[in-house]
Amino acid sequence: MSVNINTVYQTTLSLLNKEQRGYLTPQQFNLFANQAQLDLFEQYFYDINQFGRVSGNSTEYSDMLNILNEKISPFETVSPALSSFGGGLVLPTDLYRLGTVIKDGTIECERLDRKEFLQAAQSPLAAPTDTRPVYIQTPGRIQVYGKNTVSQLNTGITCNYIKKPAIPIWGYNIVFGEALYNAGTSTDFELHPSEETELVIKILELAGIAIEDIQLYQIAAGEELKNTQQEKA
């Protein structure tokens, strides 16, 4: 599932030109497209937290929690065995949210911060073991410990995680001074097809800031707010 980037690009430019709001360059569009995608993607996690606290409904296609999980599920990934480097196990470069850390395919590792790990290591009852390992997360890495809290566990460690969406790119060639779409160098949005309208609105909102058109920003922001209220009503 994806959203065609040329469709979003042409719709955005059409709306800008219709209102004579100014011109959006391909470079600006690509920057705004990536920001819009990340904004929508991050919002999924806040919305799951919110809708997870309220009762759902029995309608098969309109339960919001199910809809959000469907939108996130294509990004759920299982890593291969993590490799050791620089004092820890290197996390995947496309990681967005870390899920479960797993030892030998079946044993879940408990996450601790540095202080909790020091306290656990000194407690006979809470100390990690090879069948109850723990890990500490640092930027780009994790450190996994079992019974020996001095030496890290460096083999057989995998993780479940949410990967980042690919950066959307509207690729083009310049022909007679005009930018013409090139599908071969383009990357579509990786979001659910239902997000096409939201992507256009968010890009228009960012464009309003870039071309210093407060009215355009207000119109786009108003549409975004209306859609959000409808979803959460």
> What does the pLDDT look like over 109-125, one tens digit per residue?
999 999 999 999 998 88
| Backbone phi and psi for residue 162, each to the nearest 5 degrees, phi listed first | -95, 125
End-to-end Cα separation, the chain, in angstroms: 27
The region of weakest confidence among 55-59, 111-115, 130-134, 194-198 is 55-59
Which amino acid, 129? Answer: T
134 beta partners: 110, 145
Q: Which uninterrupted H or E stretch holds 54?
A: none
Residue 104 near residue 154 (C-beta atoms within 8 A): no
Tokens 């020996």 belong to 148
Question: What is the distance between the alpha carbons of residues 216 and 15, in angstroms, rounded to a whole number?
Answer: 10
- What's the pLDDT score for residue 73? 95
Residue-level pLDDT at 197: 92
- 218-228 pLDDT tens trace: 665 665 555 55
